[in-house]
Amino acid sequence: MSLQIKNGQVVNPLETTVVKTDLFLQDGKIAGLGSAPKSFKAEQTIDAAGHWILPGLIDCQARLRDPGEPEKANIESETKAAIENGITSLCIPPDTQPPIDNSATVELIHHRNEMFGHQAHVYPIGALTRGLGGEQLSNMASLRANGCIAFSNAKIPLANNLVQRRAMDYAGGQHSLVIIQPIDHDLLANGCAHEGAVATRLGLPAIPEAAETAALAKDIELVAQTGARTHFGQLSSARSVDMIRSAKAKGLPITADCAIHQLFLTDHDIGNFDSNMFTIPPLRSQYDRDALREGVADGTIDCLCSDHQPHEVDAKLKPFPSAEPGISGLDTLLLLALRLVEEGVLPLADLIAKLTLNPTAIMGLPGGRIGIDEVADLIIVDPDSHWICNASSFVSKGKNTPFEGWDFHGSVTHTLVAGNIVYKA
């Protein structure tokens, strides 16, 4: 199929530019920028006047609850939510049920996406250990051969540091990325709120900053020991940003992301015991939030993710400490990102790189770029549209959001995967 997108503002994260030009797509790839290739004849034309043309977003941390938790969500519902919100690629952690620790589960996920998905790419992250049990290493070579893009133990602890070192050695030997969410589970205990004045006033079990930073310090030392290429996910504290910045300055092979809600919310937002504000890691102080924003702006934090965790209604109806943590984030990822531009945190092209170019480079994925012969995973965005966040209108099966009533600008009008229009508003 051949398609022309004309009159749009092309946001190119590779060149950090925003330029009005035409795009010409053929056979699933970008065949021309500005001028059509020889003998090109468009079978379809989209007029994108007044709109932005962006690479399709890559969400490097999103739980689809499939296989295993159909009451919360599934591949069909969540890939639909993804493409309608401009996300063309989803990286899913291994804590499905059963875990992604064998080739059969990987094949099941790919099969379900082909049968029931809405044409978003779904990339499984393999388990570091068998059954995520934290003791015996998984067969990473087999998992990688079957399509796992990286390896992680999700939020589940490893038995000890020796297992972690061996896992990182093994992954490094496979030239595979290790993804770690730094958590010291002894310090995490049964906490549910950032250790500070708000948790004390509300009488909530607290989670100290050290529950993240103590683990992160150990993890960075193991990167130095093993040389394993490592990505640190869902950071939440100012001290973590400083530690990552320092480790990068020493030349260690590390990258990092944070969940986008951490750039907007703080522990003060849980003041009325709203369980939609319960996340792990917890919402931290305004100082931490500002430091995360600074880390995003200066490149210490490479990527932004939704950390999408859809829940059924009952999961959030319990008292705050007993509710299930997590936010349904696919429907608000792009809108929150654009709000960072509005608030002057970083320019549009740099912001889009955090959601496209950088994740593809780190995870080794196609897409994320606008250039000749690049895969035509693209979205068209109307920057002037206006929406008051209403969870009941979410495409995701999960309606658990802390952003109810927020005023957003921007909406996706078209999503293209491999040059095919898979969503049109």
In this predicted structure, the answer to whether residue 17 has a pLDDT above a threshold of 90 is no
For the chain, how long is the longest CA-to-CA vector? Answer: 70
Measured at the CA of 317, the angle between CA 312 and CA 323, to 5 degrees, comes to: 85
Average pLDDT over residues 115-143: 96
Percent of the chain with pLDDT over 90: 97
Contact at 8 Å (CB) between 23 and 33? yes
Average pLDDT over residues 75-87: 98
* The pLDDT of residue 393: 97
Contact at 8 Å (CB) between 183 and 149? no
The contacts of residue 127 (CB under 8 Å, 6+ apart) are 94, 99, 100, 101, 138, 143, 151, 152, 153, 154
Minimum mean pLDDT range among 15-19, 203-207, 239-243: 15-19
Average pLDDT over residues 342-358: 97
In this predicted structure, the answer to whether residue 15 has a pLDDT above a threshold of 90 is no
What tens digit of pLDDT does each residue of 200-223 get? Answer: 999 999 999 999 999 999 999 999
CATH 2.60.40.1480 fits 56-363, yes or no: no
In this predicted structure, the answer to whether residue 117 has a pLDDT above a threshold of 90 is no
Within the chain, which residue ranges are assigned CATH 2.30.40.10? 2-53+375-394+404-424
* The pLDDT of residue 310: 98
* The pLDDT of residue 145: 96
- At the fourth CATH level, which superfamily is domain 2-53+375-394+404-424? Urease, subunit C, domain 1 (2.30.40.10)
* The pLDDT of residue 176: 97
What tens digit of pLDDT does each residue of 383-409 get? Answer: 999 999 999 999 999 999 999 999 999
Residue 16 pLDDT level (bands cut at 50, 70, 90):
confident
* The pLDDT of residue 30: 97
What tens digit of pLDDT does each residue of 166-203 get? Answer: 999 999 999 999 999 999 999 999 999 999 999 999 99
Within the chain, which residue ranges are assigned CATH 3.20.20.140? 56-363
Contact at 8 Å (CB) between 310 and 79? no
Minimum mean pLDDT range among 113-122, 233-242, 299-308: 113-122
* The pLDDT of residue 234: 98
Q: What is the DSSP string of 134-202?
A: SSSBP-HHHHHHTT--EEE-TTSPPS-HHHHHHHHHHHHHTT-EEEE----HHHHTT--EETTHHHHHH
* The pLDDT of residue 86: 98
Average pLDDT over residues 123-133: 98
pTM above 0.85, yes or no: yes
Give the tokens for residue 99. 């875990």
Task: Point out the residues that are catalytic.
Answer: 307
Average pLDDT over residues 72-81: 98
In this predicted structure, the answer to whether residue 423 has a pLDDT above a threshold of 90 is yes
* The pLDDT of residue 118: 85
Residue 14 pLDDT level (bands cut at 50, 70, 90):
confident
Q: How far apart are CA 56 and CA 370, in angstroms?
A: 10
| Average pLDDT value for the chain | 97
